[in-house]
């Protein structure tokens, strides 16, 4: 929890506005950095010029990527629009990051197979879904029981990046472990309902009013439910949240080390591998775009560049000697 009363006020306001906990943490970090950059001057006493100086500093001194600079800008736009009520100018003049996006790290099919063999049993299902369905980490651990469609062998992803919904493929091999996982969640729920302090699973604000009993139904429970109950920071109620993202990150990192994979492997590497392997198997790029939830086809095309740079379509002159 932030020590600053001002930052605590921002945190409370963001909870009221239904921001995710990850967004709240990121915005508070950037707002705090902005304040410290200007020698703890209160944001009420600053505006466009100071924001421009801070955003330029991120590029000129810290050499941050464009996405990082954009994250900082979003936080400060929120600060001045929703907290201080003095919106920033639409034409801010700051140095924009020109760092090129890195090419994704992709595992070979053998590396992927070896990683899944040695990954921690507790996280294996989540890790398998990241690769089998191309989900982002938070999309995976935020899945609810009802998001798994066994009949159509698909997974429904709600409010992914950019607030978009999509349907992705479900590998048939994962159906038995998913059914077993749902059985575990049912056992958790049965025990929770006997606890008089239990307030049900977290639901978005509109849904909690529209479906008043949904938070105690199996359909709305998190698929990857935490083994422990915890206090909701929004209203101090007792709930069972989903597992922490760091548990999956650690499991992937340790599995890559055990499998002796000489690459920097993160959960997002599995999403990159999913896309690349789909293209290698002959899938149409539009299909891959839909599965990944990319708004722009150019974002998906980076995986075709990986295949080309890997030499699949270009013969090295050394091979002709």
The residues annotated with a catalytic role in the active site are 136, 161, 268, 271, 294, 303
Strands (E), 82-131: none
Contact 241, 223 (CB under 8 A): no
Burial readout 116-135 (b: 16 or more C-beta within 10 A, e: otherwise): beebbeebbbbbbbbbbbbb
> SS3 of 167, please?
strand
Measured CA to CA, the distance from residue 300 to residue 131 in angstroms comes to 16
Nearest to 164, CA basis, from 139, 146, 144? 139
Contact 31, 75 (CB under 8 A): yes
Q: How many CB atoms lie within 10 A of CB 51?
A: 23
Eight-state DSSP code of residue 149: E
Cα distances (Å, whole numbers) of residue 49 to 36, 67, 89, 228: 16, 21, 10, 47
């Amino acid at each position: 929890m932030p020590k600053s009363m001002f930052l605590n006020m921002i945190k409370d306001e963001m909870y009221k506005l239904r921001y995710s906990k990850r967004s709240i943490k990121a915005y508070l970090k950037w707002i705090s950095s902005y304040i410290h950059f200007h020698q703890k001057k209160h944001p009420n006493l600053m505006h466009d010029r100071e924001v421009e100086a801070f955003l330029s500093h991120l590029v000129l001194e810290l050499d941050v990527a464009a996405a990082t600079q954009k994250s900082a800008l979003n936080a400060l736009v929120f600060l001045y629009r929703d907290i201080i009520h003095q919106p920033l100018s639409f034409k801010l003049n700051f140095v924009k990051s020109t760092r090129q996006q890195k090419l994704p790290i992709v595992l070979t099919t053998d590396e992927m197979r070896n990683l899944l063999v040695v990954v921690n049993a507790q996280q294996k299902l989540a890790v398998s879904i990241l690769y089998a369905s191309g989900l982002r980490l938070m999309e995976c651990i935020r899945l609810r029981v009802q998001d798994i469609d066994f009949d159509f062998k698909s997974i429904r992803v709600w409010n992914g990046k950019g607030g978009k919904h999509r349907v992705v493929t479900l590998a048939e091999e994962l159906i038995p472990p998913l059914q077993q996982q749902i059985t575990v969640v049912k056992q958790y729920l049965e025990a929770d309902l006997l606890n008089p302090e239990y307030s049900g699973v977290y639901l978005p604000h509109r849904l909690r009013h529209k479906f008043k009993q949904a938070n105690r139904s199996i359909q709305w429970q998190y698929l990857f439910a935490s083994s422990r109950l915890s206090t909701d920071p929004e209203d101090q109620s007792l709930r069972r949240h989903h597992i922490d993202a760091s548990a999956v990150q650690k499991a992937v990192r340790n599995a890559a080390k055990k499998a002796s994979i000489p690459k920097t492997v993160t959960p997002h590497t599995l999403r990159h591998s999913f896309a690349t392997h789909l293209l290698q198997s002959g899938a149409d790029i539009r299909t891959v775009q839909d599965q990944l939830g990319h708004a722009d086809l150019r974002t998906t095309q980076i995986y075709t560049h990986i295949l080309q740079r890997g030499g699949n379509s270009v013969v090295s002159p050394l091979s002709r000697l």
